[in-house]
A = this chain, B = another copy of it.
Amino acid sequence: MSAIRFEIQKQLKGKLGRVGKLHTEHGVIETPAFLAVGTKATVKALTPEHIASLGIQGILANTYHLYLEPGEDIVQSAGGLHSFMHYDQPIMTDSGGFQVFSLGEAYEGKISKLAHDEVDDDHPTIYSKNFSLQQARLARIDEEGVTFTSHLDGSTHRFTAERSIEIQHKLGADIIVAFDECTSPQAPHDYQKEAMERTHRWAKRSLAAHRQNIEAQKKQGIYGVVQGGRYQDLRKESAMFLSDLLFDGYGIGGSFTKKDLDAALELVNSILPSEKPRHLLGIGEPKDLFDGVERGIDTFDCVMPTRIARTGQVYTRSGKQNVLNASYARDFSPLDEDCNCYTCTHFTRAYVAHLFRSREMLGATLASIHNLHFITSLVSGMREAILNDSFENYKDSFFARYNA
């Protein structure tokens, strides 16, 4: 008996997309759903009550960051992540693989999962154009795991599949993720294949480590992560390999070019067992969300809504806008006319712009609330649209106004 249970309510006609309910120890996630990112056991600039009030159904926290600070033992002593951060809805932790590998040669590359993304401290990341394991700066991979240097204090650490799962057991999220290697989309085929096969061996070891912990198994579901970079043959092989393992769900990992994403999702999700939930790791701009939902993704996480919020960029029905635009200074309308979030129903563009100009923390809070509400509502709207057989209409009418 798995700690999580996925129930499909309706299929998107002629597509891989579907509506469902993901049951966890801390309640149900109605899918498709967007999970907010709470990297260090806090969704930046928001209280847990803010998160709940936004209709956000769950969050994703980062194993790498929490392992370094405050350390998984402190979180466990606090009673696990839910208790530590005072959040009683579903939590997912990633495997730490993405952050660890992005400490490699990629560290100073400042490129993130999709070409249009920006970078900040959530992901002390990324790959360079000529990925080369030998040049790795802060991480070294071997068959057993990865040895890495903390971005905080330069100390040396080591993650293996078993260690990642042990840490995630202590953190106590509802959904944990098998240890995986997240490669660069620029990595050549032979390296991608080698990394993928290693990820598969780690997946088996992660699963075994999880199955050995009876208590954890009762409370935590585990996802395997499909890799393979931009190569369809590898994506296919990875999806097939992982389908045979008894994971409770699947993550789709790796960095993508925008072009590769759709093809990879289409292929992978047509192979993965349809009755299991699927999470797209770390990607979630509006276009990606529509593309992902249509191609069978059930849950998403992405730092983008809160990250851009902290720089004053807000989503509106017509596209992203910067509150520091001169026109906002005397604009007493809400950030988005059509929005009913706390920020838009209580504050004006002029006020939010003032907060950003004055470098007041409330600016980041109000913009984060708005952006998360915008993205969360967009995805819950997709859910409604599938239920009402109007997904295409919903999508068309969104992009008729939205300038990506």
Contacts and interface: CB of A to CB of B under 8 A. Distances in A.
Interface string A31-52: 0000000001110111110000
Interface stretch (A4-12, A69-77, A105-113, A290-298): A69-77
A40 B356 CA distance: 11
Contact of A42 (B346, B348, B362): B362
Given A42-B362, A45-B362, A329-B74, A69 B348 contact: no
Nearest to A354: B70
Given A350-B70, A351-B84, A354-B69, A360 B42 contact: yes
Contacts of A65: 358
Contacts of A365: 45, 47, 361, 365
Interface in A304-334: 329-330, 332
B42 A355 contact: yes
12 contacts: A40-B354, A42-B355, A45-B362, A70-B329, A70-B350, A70-B354, A70-B357, A74-B329, A77-B330, A78-B348, A84-B354, A86-B346
A78 B40 CA distance: 37
A69 B358 CA distance: 7
A146 interface: no
A136 interface: no
A138 interface: no
- Which of A351, A361, A362, A366 has most B Cβ within 10 Å? A362
Contacts of A348: 78, 84
A121 B330 CA distance: 25
A358 B347 CA distance: 29
Interface in A54-98: 65, 69-70, 74, 77-78, 84-86
A85 B40 contact: no
A364 interface: yes
Contacts of A84: 348, 350-351, 354
Contacts of A46: 362
Interface in A334-364: 346-348, 350-351, 353-355, 357-358, 360-362, 364
A366 to B, nearest CB: 8
Interface string A192-222: 0000000000000000000000000000000
A85 B346 CA distance: 9
Given A70-B354, A365-B47, A86 B42 contact: no
A357 B42 contact: no
Interface in A357-395: 357-358, 360-362, 364-366
A79 to B, nearest CB: 8
